[in-house]
Homo-oligomer: A and B are copies of this chain.
Amino acid sequence: MALNEKQKRLCQENKTDYSDIKALYINCTLKKNPEKSHTQGLMDVSRAILAENKVDVENIRATDYDIPPGVWADMTEHGWAADDWPKIFKKITEKDILVLGTPIWLGEKSSVCSKIIERMYGQSAQENDKGQYIYYGKAGGCIITGNEDGIKHCGMGILYSLQHLGFTIPPQADSGWVGEAGPGPSYLDEKSGGLENDFTQRNVTFMSWNLLHMARALKDNGGIPAHGNQKKLWNAGCRFGHPNPEYR
């Protein structure tokens, strides 16, 4: 198991029931299976914390799927030969927690991560049964690794997008690992220091528990109350068929 002693003990001492919570982790590495993803290494710590608490955790790697770019629900209607996105979107709608994992390249989140966010954005005009954006009532977080710097910058873009789409962001919902400036081992490499980095391990632990706390609270509350945040009631002159998802 990926957990250290402190992480295990926190799971053992937990008294809250999370067995009705579902979580999806999407690894946005650029690498194709079966290449090793260092980002997955840190995602596995968070997944293990949730799984130890009996959360139903699913983990996918975006590059295992055929996902064209675009901002529409099904890109086969817009000139692309295939589109696995509808399957992934369905998974997201069924979960209570979403965690996006990404490597850092040139200081930025991966293009695969950007594409996943664009596709999620493409469906932001859809509503839940309360008339709120479809992603309301879910908790979101992110996990970032690299051997160059940029954890916080990548976190800014990802968490901003998630809250803008309707997710709730609990405290300290980002965690990551980078080495010292310059060449060096990646997270899962021997002697990277990543697995023993107390700061990284603490942050991924706090993040995981705060996602649990927030998902529990949102589920017990029936999501975000439906007042003052329903688009149809506001009737902002939605423009169906508008290219920008927010304005449809």
Contacts and interface: CB of A to CB of B under 8 A. Distances in A.
Contacts of A117: 106, 108, 111
A101 interface: no
Contacts of A168: 168-171, 214
A197 interface: yes
Nearest to A244: B147
Interface residues of A, number: 102
A163 B49 CA distance: 21
Contacts of A170: 163, 168, 224
Q: Which 3 A-B pairs have the closest CB atoms?
A: A182-B199, A209-B228, A107-B152
A161 B106 contact: yes
Stoichiometry, copies per complex:
4
Contacts of A161: 106-108
Nearest to A147: B244
Interface in A56-86: 63, 69-71, 78-80
A121 B227 CA distance: 33
A83 to B, nearest CB: 12
Nearest to A11: B228
Interface string A164-181: 111111111110111111
Given A183-B237, A216-B225, 5 more contacts: A31-B70, A179-B181, A183-B239, A183-B247, A205-B228
A12 to B, nearest CB: 11
Contact of A160 (B10, B159, B231): B159
Contacts of A231: 202
A44 interface: no
A121 B146 CA distance: 15
Q: Could you say which of A107, A109, A202 has the most chain B C-beta atoms within 10 Å of its C-beta?
A: A107
A183 to B, nearest CB: 4
A133 B35 CA distance: 28
Given A150-B149, A160-B152, A180-B193, A236 B199 contact: yes
Q: Could you say which of A35, A106, A135 has the most chain B C-beta atoms within 10 Å of its C-beta?
A: A106
A152 B166 CA distance: 15
B182 A200 contact: yes
B169 A159 contact: yes
Contact of A13 (B105, B163, B227, B239): B227
A54 interface: no
Interface in A2-19: 6, 10, 13-14, 16
